[in-house]
Amino acid sequence: MELIIGIDEAGRGSWAGPLVVALVILNEPIIGLNDSKKISKKNRKLISELVYKNAAEVSVGWASPKEIDELGLTKAERKAIISALKQIKSSYSEIIIDGKYNFIPDNLSSKAIVRADQFIPEVSAASIIAKVTRDRFMEEQALIYPEYFFDHHYGYGTKLHLESLKKHGPSPIHRMSYKPLIDIVKKSNS
């Protein structure tokens, strides 16, 4: 049986928190798979449980805010993918990455496909796992840093997040290389 590894991420455009990459190999169909952004939060959690229960393999790689600041987003994502790929034990025939950029071109089995999370089940499953994993992490961070409301915006650039940043400055999990943070730090230093 030819196995496909589906890869997708969550948190790419976020101002705070990690980038989370998920890899999934399915061995049977799972009902309800789609791009994680097109599924309700409740259904994402239910489907993620089905994926963990029924997939041949699931692995997750992380890029911390510090790694993103130091390496840049592309290299940090590549590092997270390679980390997750090292956890895979099954042999596979193909790796499909959601998007237009192949982060691991040196792996000849890999290719990038735009919107793969909408029509390739393994990539849809990876999209859901990455989103649920990252959301759970950000909800935990909201307990540590309640003044930032991470459980509302999950680190993305919203009005509430910007207001919190202006009032409290950046937290330890903010990505200091991102323009909104650079601007806020400049204003507070002038």
CATH of the domain at 144: 3.30.420.10
What are the phi and psi torsion angles at 153 (to 5°)?
A: -115, -5
Which of the four pLDDT bands, split at 50, 70 and 90, describes residue 187? confident
Q: How many domains does the chain have?
A: 1
Coil, helix or strand for 73?
A: helix
Using an 8 Å Cβ cutoff, are 97 and 22 in contact? no
pLDDT at 2: 79
pLDDT at 1: 64
**pTM for this model (two decimals):** 0.95
Contacts of 116 (CB under 8 A, 6+ apart): 6, 8, 96, 97, 98, 99, 123
pLDDT at 105: 96
pLDDT at 102: 97
Looking at per-residue pLDDT, the higher value among 111 and 182 belongs to: 111
DSSP β-bridge partners for residue 86: none
Residue with tokens 């969550």: 10
Q: How does pLDDT run across 1-48, given as a tens digit for each residue? A: 679 999 999 999 999 999 999 999 999 999 999 999 999 999 999 999
Domain residue limits at 38 = 4-189
Average of per-residue pLDDT values in the chain: 95
Q: How does pLDDT run across 119-156, given as a tens digit for each residue? A: 999 999 999 999 999 999 999 999 999 999 999 999 99
Rounded mean pLDDT, 98-124: 97
Q: How many Cβ atoms are within 10 Å of 111's Cβ, its own excluded?
A: 14
pLDDT at 190: 62
CA distances for 24 relative to 3, 5, 92, 174, angstroms: 10, 6, 11, 28
pLDDT at 181: 87
How would DSSP label each residue in 134-180?
Answer: HHHHHHHHHHH-GGG-HHHHTTS--HHHHHHHHHH---TTB-TTSHH
pLDDT surpassing 80 at residue 189: no
